[in-house]
């Protein structure tokens, strides 16, 4: 089978949402398929992309170039087109050159315009496709016309894979469609890790918040506001922010405005044992998620998790047993649950051990292989290997 993967991530060189499709692409090469990946062209080439080529995955590099016009052609184009196209994209070139039998999209959010555009062309060409959705944003403006376009894109897919039941529920509610082709998929998470020793909690309790510095998504701004309140200023608790992103300067300015010494930026740290070896707990204040890889990694390292109830957090966290769920992303809600956790801090270590046991039972074995098999199944039309519904013990 000729398979084309299209990742719509054009913003950052690599991210956790890339792990599932890329690992499955390599496995499908080993299973005898011709596999191509359509990725955003970057110079220098990100290491994970170079690794795909080394393992037999063909690459198609997307780009976008400005359309240069002289004054006459600009005036003529404006007359004919109204608002003339400013850029020329080669996003369909991968389909035209590779002539795939099956296309797999990996999209960062449910209304991804690139997915809608290219899938429309695939339906015109009678090319089968599937899509894995790493995040569903709630409350986006959706007109009737846009809704119909998006519904057609998803209903035209052989399979639409999501990483949490909550994401599927939002899609069904906001787009008024059952999406009967929806299935669940796990992202690869390294579970067989040595759990670091629990840091001595007798002086200061340290909480790690791991995620890109994008407050609209990850909610670091909410954490800063909570810790600026008088009772938290007086308590021996600090939060370290791990990650990089476009809002570092803005977040730092807010910290400086509040005169806050409870929050520190730690940058990107690839060694997860370093992160969790120095912290007693994890904190995630996201306004939206699919199923956070960083959250799952924290649980694998035996750390109690405080998280907003978004995406797949509710599938993993039993409130008061292995962590705490914040009902919604707001300063007041986060403050209330953080206070509850603080009062129960003597149990954090035991809750971390419970979190590890939960994640070990919640993730199916070898998610990348299962996804590769699901792609083959979707193309052949055989029985679905995934279904909706998480089990307390999915690791089979």
Q: For residue 385, what pLDDT is reported? A: 44
> Comparing 31 with 82, which gets the higher pLDDT?
31
Share of the chain above pLDDT 90, in %: 75
Beta bridge partners of 37: 5, 59
Query: What is the rounded average pLDDT for all residues in the chain?
Result: 89
In angstroms, the first-to-last Cα distance of the chain is 27
Find out whether 38 and 62 touch, Cβ atoms under 8 Å: yes
Angular region, 272: left φ>0, alpha ψ -120 to 50, beta rest: alpha
Measure Cα distances from 349 to 85, 313, 361 in Å: 57, 19, 19
Q: How crowded is residue 246: how many other Cβ atoms within 10 Å of its Cβ?
A: 12
Kindly tell me if the per-residue pLDDT of 395 is higher than 60: no
Kindly tell me if the per-residue pLDDT of 42 is higher than 90: no
Given the structure tokens 């003529």, which residue do they identify?
Answer: 76
pLDDT in tens, 215-262: 999 999 999 999 999 999 999 999 999 999 889 999 999 999 999 999
Q: Is the alpha carbon torsion for 251, 254, 256, 262 positive or negative?
A: negative
Instruction: State whether residue 169 is helix, strand or coil.
Output: helix
Residue ranges of domains in the chain, CATH in brackets: 2-189+365-380 (3.40.50.2000), 205-361 (3.40.50.2000)
pTM of the model: 0.84
Length of the chain in terms of residues written: 396
Given the structure tokens 């890109």, which residue do they identify?
Answer: 212
Look at strands 263-267 and 281-284 and give their pairing.
unpaired
Look at strands 64-66 and 87-89 and give their pairing.
antiparallel
pLDDT in tens, 259-288: 999 999 999 998 999 999 999 999 999 999
């Amino acid at each position: 089978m000729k398979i084309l993967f299209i990742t719509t991530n054009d913003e950052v060189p690599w991210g956790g949402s890339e792990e599932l499709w890329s690992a499955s692409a390599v496995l499908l090469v080993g299973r005898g398929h011709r596999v191509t990946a359509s990725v955003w062209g970057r110079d220098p080439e990100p290491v994970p992309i170079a690794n795909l080529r080394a393992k037999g995955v063909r690459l198609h590099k997307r780009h976008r170039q400005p359309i240069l016009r002289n004054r006459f052609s600009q005036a003529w184009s404006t007359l004919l087109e109204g608002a003339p196209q400013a850029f020329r994209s080669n996003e369909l070139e991968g389909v035209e050159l590779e002539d795939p039998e099956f296309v797999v999209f990996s999209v960062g959010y449910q209304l991804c315009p690139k997915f809608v555009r290219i899938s429309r062309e695939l339906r015109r060409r009678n090319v089968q496709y599937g899509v894995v959705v790493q995040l569903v944003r709630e409350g986006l403006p959706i007109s009737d016309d846009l809704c119909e376009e998006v519904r057609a894109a998803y209903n035209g897919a052989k399979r639409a894979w999501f990483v949490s039941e909550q994401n599927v529920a939002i899609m069904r509610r906001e787009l008024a469609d059952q999406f009967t082709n929806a299935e669940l998929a796990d992202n690869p998470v390294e579970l067989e890790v040595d759990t670091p020793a629990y840091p001595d909690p007798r002086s200061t309790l340290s909480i790690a918040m791991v995620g890109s510095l994008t407050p609209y998504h990850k909610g670091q701004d909410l954490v800063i506001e909570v810790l600026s309140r008088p009772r938290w200023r007086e308590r021996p608790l600090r939060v370290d922010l791990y990650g990089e992103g476009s809002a570092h300067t803005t977040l730092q300015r807010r910290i400086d405005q509040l005169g806050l010494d409870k929050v520190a930026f730690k940058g990107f740290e690839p060694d997860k044992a370093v992160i969790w070896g120095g912290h007693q707990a994890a904190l995630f204040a996201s306004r939206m998620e699919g199923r956070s890889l960083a959250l799952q990694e924290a649980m694998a390292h035996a750390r109690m998790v405080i998280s907003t109830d978004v995406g797949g957090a509710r599938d993993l966290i039993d409130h008061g047993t292995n962590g705490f769920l914040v009902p919604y992303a707001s300063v007041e809600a986060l403050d209330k649950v953080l206070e509850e956790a603080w009062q129960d801090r003597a149990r954090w270590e035991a809750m971390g051990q419970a979190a590890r046991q939960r994640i070990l039972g919640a993730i199916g074995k070898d998610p990348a292989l299962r996804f590769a098999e699901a792609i083959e199944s979707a193309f052949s039309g055989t029985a679905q290997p995934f279904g909706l519904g998480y089990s307390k013990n999915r690791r089979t």
